[in-house]
């Protein structure tokens, strides 16, 4: 073992003398592993689209940094939304496949598991589609950046905006597992803090295909807002059936607490219209997001990116900038460098990464357009409110992140 290590360091010294650019790059290649759901419930909002986004980031980085000659590779794997599968792949990637950074990781439980493995191995993790705000709270790590959004941001953005515009009585439809409970808890706190009331809640099994009975209970509560503390197919089914039972026509409104562009696409505007929710990104925000999204769409059958996929692009781009600035791919050092460098990319604009790993940027409250307002395919959102970067996320002191407390 000792001899082997010596051999490696000798090799490293040789490499060092061979070319300065390759100085600290392990295996002389930067390997980016996209770890997400490639085939199940979350495959459309993350999946192969995230892999493409990572590849586009590499392309753009290379085009802008012609002097950076180290090869960059992107690989992908399917964690099937299972924490054990996810951490197993992460270990294999880090130990024997020479992966330097893992990106995306939807499904909070998997993201938290990979977070732990990455810390152990001293590598780097950029979470984009994973939701839990614990990643920058009590589970925060010097090796992790949480890029796109989190549960606190969703609860806060959507909850307070709705209460302030008159939606002061709530009824929750909550997926009966950790993620749903957390989202419900955070949103309830925000509703009450802003002077609203929670009239009732019902916990539905995960997953549920038929929401009619839960919707009837929500309807009977006479609450102005029905908060959907669930995700993916549960959310789309609930919305679809709410339309059928005339809930929105009857004067109640739905608040999707976690909705992706792909969900709206699957629902169609007829069913999704009027829905209000928080996201960090939409393809049609400005010229830069439009240009990038058109390029993305051209390579994936005309689909527009979800905020998770956009976050993968921006996160990988920033990671590569940090590697180039540092001339090293040592996970811990690169993440520290990422926090030091201001972020700037075409999708999220200028921003920064806090000491707890939270990426800070503007957050948007969107409303889904009426079919008559939509000009064409994928023209779905209008911006209802913009939450400035410094208010969009949980204040660092409230997260309970040990990295911050130590300072």
Partner 1 sequence: MTEIFGKPLPVILGQTLIGLINGSFYALLSLGLAVIFGLLNIINFTHGAQYMMGAFAAYFLLNKLGVNYWWALLVAPLAVGVTGMVIERLMLSRLYKLDHLYGLLLTFGLALIIQGVFRQEFGSTGLPYSIPESLSGGQNLGFMFLPNYRAWVIAASLFTCLATWFVIERTKLGAYLRAATENPAMVQAFGVNVPRMITLTYGFGVALAALAGVMAAPIYQVNPLMGADTIIVVFAVVVIGGMGSIMGAVVTGFGLGIIEGLTKVFYPEASNTVIFVIMAIVLMIRPQGLFGSR
| C-alpha distances out from residue 337 to 72, 142, 229, 318, 323, Å | 19, 11, 36, 10, 8
From 95-103, 201-209, 322-330, 351-359, give the range in contact with partner 1 by CB under 8 A: 201-209
Tell me if 374 contacts partner 1 by CB under 8 A: no
178 part of the interface to partner 1, by CB under 8 A: no
Minimum CB distance to partner 1, residue 204 (Å)? 6
Site string for partner 1, 307-326 (x = CB under 8 A): --------------------
Does 44 contact partner 1 by CB under 8 A?
yes
Binding segment for partner 1 (CB under 8 A), chosen from 6-14, 159-167, 183-191, 202-210, is: 202-210
**Residue 177 interacting with partner 1 (CB under 8 A):** no
79 counts as binding partner 1 under rule CB under 8 A: no
Q: Please tell me whether residue 240 binds partner 1 under the rule CB under 8 A.
A: yes
**How much is the CA Rg of the chain, to the nearest whole Å?**
22
Binding of residue 401 to partner 1 (CB under 8 A): no
Residue 304 beta carbon to partner 1: minimum distance, rounded to whole angstroms = 13
| CB 61 to partner 1: min, Å | 28
Q: Which of 105, 146, 143, 139 is nearest to 123 (CA)?
A: 143
Stretch that binds partner 1, among 61-69, 217-225, 335-343, 348-356 (CB under 8 A): 217-225
Candidate list 25, 30, 35, 45; residue touching partner 1; CB under 8 A: 45
- Whether residue 296 is preceded by a cis peptide bond, meaning omega within 30 degrees of 0, is no
Residue (75 or 233) nearer to partner 1, CB: 233
Contact between residue 105 and residue 86 where contact means Cβ atoms under 8 Å apart: yes
Q: Cβ(144)–Cβ(115) under 8 Å?
A: yes
**Residue ranges of E strands in 155-215:** 169-175, 197-204
Span near partner 1 by CB under 8 A; candidates 182-190, 215-223, 317-325, 349-357: 215-223
Enumerate the β-bridge partners of residue 31: 73
Give the helix, strand, coil percentages of the chain, each rounded to 5. Answer: 45, 20, 35
Tell whether residue 210 is a contact of partner 1 (CB under 8 A): yes
Q: Shortest approach of partner 1 to residue 146 CB, angstroms?
A: 24
d(CA 46, CA 81): 12
- The correct pick among 7, 11, 21, 220 for binding partner 1 (CB under 8 A) is 220
| DSSP 3-state of 20 | helix
**Residue 400: exposure state from Cβ atoms within 10 A (0-12, 13-18, ≥19):** middle
262 binds partner 1 (CB under 8 A): yes
| CA atoms of 376 and 395, how far apart (whole Å) | 39
Instruction: Return the residue of 98, 207, 349, 400 that touches partner 1, per CB under 8 A.
Output: 207
Report the candidate in 284, 283, 238, 242 with the shortest Cα–Cα distance to residue 257.
238
DSSP code string of 335-354: HHHHHHSPEEETTTEEEEE-
Taking the complex as a whole, how short is the minimal distance between the CB of residue 201 and partner 1, in angstroms?
Answer: 10
**In the complex, which residues of this chain contact partner 1 (CB under 8 A)?**
39-45, 176, 202-205, 207-210, 212-214, 216-217, 219-220, 232-233, 236-237, 240-241, 244-246, 250, 262-263, 265-268, 270-271
């Amino acid at each position: 073992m000792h001899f082997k290590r010596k051999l490696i360091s000798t090799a490293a010294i040789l490499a060092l003398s061979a070319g300065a650019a390759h100085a600290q790059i392990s295996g002389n290649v930067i390997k980016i592993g996209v770890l997400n759901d490639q085939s199940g419930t979350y495959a459309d909002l993350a999946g192969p689209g995230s892999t493409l986004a990572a590849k586009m980031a590499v392309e753009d980085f290379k085009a802008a940094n012609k002097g950076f000659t180290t090869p960059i590779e992107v690989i992908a794997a399917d964690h099937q939304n299972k924490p054990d599968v996810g951490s197993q792949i992460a270990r294999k990637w880090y130990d024997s496949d020479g992966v330097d950074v893992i990106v995306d990781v939807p499904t909070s439980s998997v993201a938290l598991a990979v977070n732990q493995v990455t810390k152990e191995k001293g590598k780097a993790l950029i979470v984009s589609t994973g939701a839990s705000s614990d990643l920058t709270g009590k589970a925060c790590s010097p090796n992790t950046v949480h890029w796109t959004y989190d549960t606190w941001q969703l609860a806060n953005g959507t909850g307070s905006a709705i209460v302030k515009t008159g939606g002061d009585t709530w009824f929750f439809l909550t997926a009966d597992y950790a993620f749903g409970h957390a989202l419900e808890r955070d949103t309830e706190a925000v509703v009450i803090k802003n002077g609203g009331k929670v009239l009732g809640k019902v916990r539905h099994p995960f997953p549920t295909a038929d929401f009619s009975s839960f919707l009837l209970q929500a309807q009977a509560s006479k609450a102005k807002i029905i908060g959907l503390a669930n995700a993916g197919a549960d959310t789309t089914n609930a919305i679809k059936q709410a339309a059928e039972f005339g809930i929105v026509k009857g004067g109640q409104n739905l608040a999707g607490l976690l909705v992706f562009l792909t969900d709206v696409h699957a629902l169609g505007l007829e069913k999704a219209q009027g829905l209000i929710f928080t996201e960090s990104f939409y393809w049609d925000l400005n010229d830069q997001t439009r240009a990038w999204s058109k390029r993305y769409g051209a390579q994936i059958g005309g689909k527009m990116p979800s905020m998770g996929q956009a976050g993968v692009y921006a996160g990988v781009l920033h990671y590569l900038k940090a590697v180039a600035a540092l001339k090293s791919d040592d996970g811990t050092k690169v993440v520290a460098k990422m926090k030091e460098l201001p972020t700037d990319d075409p999708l999220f604009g200028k921003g920064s990464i806090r000491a707890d790993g939270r990426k800070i940027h503007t957050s948007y409250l969107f409303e889904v357009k009426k079919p008559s307002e939509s000009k064409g395919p994928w023209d779905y959102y209008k911006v209802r409110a913009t939450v400035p970067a410094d208010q969009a996320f949980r204040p660092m002191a409230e997260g309970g992140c040990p990295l911050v407390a130590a300072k």
